């Protein structure tokens, strides 16, 4: 049967992967880090026993967390990624020619180092001259920023350990203040099947800060349940509609303008999760 890695996704649910070999295993100042070779999904980054990304399906998550907010903005120039030390979000952001600077605020430099060494297809954007890497507390960086970013992307781990503060209303207020007057942000907000209470709380917190709040979905096979949510807070632009077409030479494997629109069409049970459902464009969420 070989060697298997098992992620205990809840107390009652696990997902297992058969391994070829372990490429790196270390305890960083913040978390347990491993990079393993799986037979089904290729190389995989694991933090504190939870799958973060794999070579085979990472494109879904990274394209959807970046291109939805970026194509909803008419001309994003300065973009911040909080977390996301694997570099996948930076890679996708830099496909937009309007972007002049993509800042990565990652608290654990060992994640960046591991991605550079073992996941070059994901981390390649970190070497782009428009990418700026800041090793440190993303929450504090956002708190100190005022009106400087067009788009902020919160590419966090699960709400445990150093990522807990990234799911708090206080942080979303700081994000609001760090954005320009027409800015917007997106955060990964876990599985509607397995994290219903978290989604309710996060959606409500974001809606209490931003005049436009929307939730959208994508399918990421290696994440708990496979169905994954993202929540957008916008000061001005309706995130449900791309306002620009993909530029010449733009490549993607999951994102399209049609997928962008359809991702906001929610199943009934997800609408019920966020109480009254998505607010109408131009209206504040409640």
The set of catalytic residues is 155
User: Strand pairing of 50-54 and 149-155?
Assistant: unpaired
Output DSSP code: residue 214.
Answer: E
Neighbouring CB atoms inside 10 A of 264's CB total: 17
Strand order in the sheet with 13-27: 3-10, 13-27, 32-38, 42-47, 50-54
CA atoms 88, 90, 96, 97: torsion sign: negative
Q: In whole angstroms, give the CA distance from residue 4 to residue 144.
A: 44
Beta-sheet pairing, 131-135 with 227-234: unpaired
Please count the other Cβ atoms lying within 10 Å of the Cβ belonging to residue 23: 16
Nearest residue to 214 (alpha-carbon basis) of 187, 195, 182, 242: 187
Residue 23 C-beta-side C-alpha neighbours within 13 Å: 16
Beta strands in the chain (DSSP E): 3-10, 13-27, 32-38, 42-47, 50-54, 78-83, 101-106, 131-135, 149-155, 179-188, 212-219, 227-234
Please, which residues bridge with residue 17 across strands? 5
């Amino acid at each position: 049967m070989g060697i298997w890695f098992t992620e205990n996704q809840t107390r009652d649910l696990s997902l297992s992967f058969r391994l070829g070999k372990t490429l790196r295993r270390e305890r960083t100042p913040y978390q347990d880090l491993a990079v393993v070779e799986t037979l089904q999904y290729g190389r995989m980054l694991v933090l504190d026993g939870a799958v973060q990304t794999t070579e085979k399906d990472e494109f879904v998550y990274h394209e959807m967390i970046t291109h939805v907010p970026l194509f909803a903005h008419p001309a994003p120039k300065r973009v911040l990624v909080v977390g996301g030390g694997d570099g996948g979000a930076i890679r996708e952001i830099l496909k937009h020619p309007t972007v002049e600077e993509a800042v990565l605020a990652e608290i654990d430099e060992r994640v960046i180092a591991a991605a550079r060494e073992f996941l070059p297809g994901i981390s390649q954007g970190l070497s782009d001259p428009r990418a700026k890497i800041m090793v440190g507390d993303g929450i504090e960086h956002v708190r100190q920023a005022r009106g400087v970013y067009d788009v902020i992307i919160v590419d966090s781990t699960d709400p445990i350990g150093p990522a807990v503060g990234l799911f708090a209303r206080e942080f979303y207020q700081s994000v609001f203040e760090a954005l320009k007057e027409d800015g917007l942000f997106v955060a990964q907000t876990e599985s509607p099947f397995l994290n219903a209470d978290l989604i309710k709380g996060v959606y409500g917190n974001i809606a209490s800060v931003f005049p436009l709040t929307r939730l959208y979905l994508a399918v990421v096979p290696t994440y708990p349940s496979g169905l994954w949510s993202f929540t957008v807070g916008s000061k001005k632009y309706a995130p449900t509609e791309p306002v620009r077409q993909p530029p010449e030479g733009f490549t993607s494997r999951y994102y399209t303008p049609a997928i962008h629109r359809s991702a906001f069409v929610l199943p009934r049970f997800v609408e019920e999760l966020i109480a009254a459902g998505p607010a109408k464009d131009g209206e504040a969420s409640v």
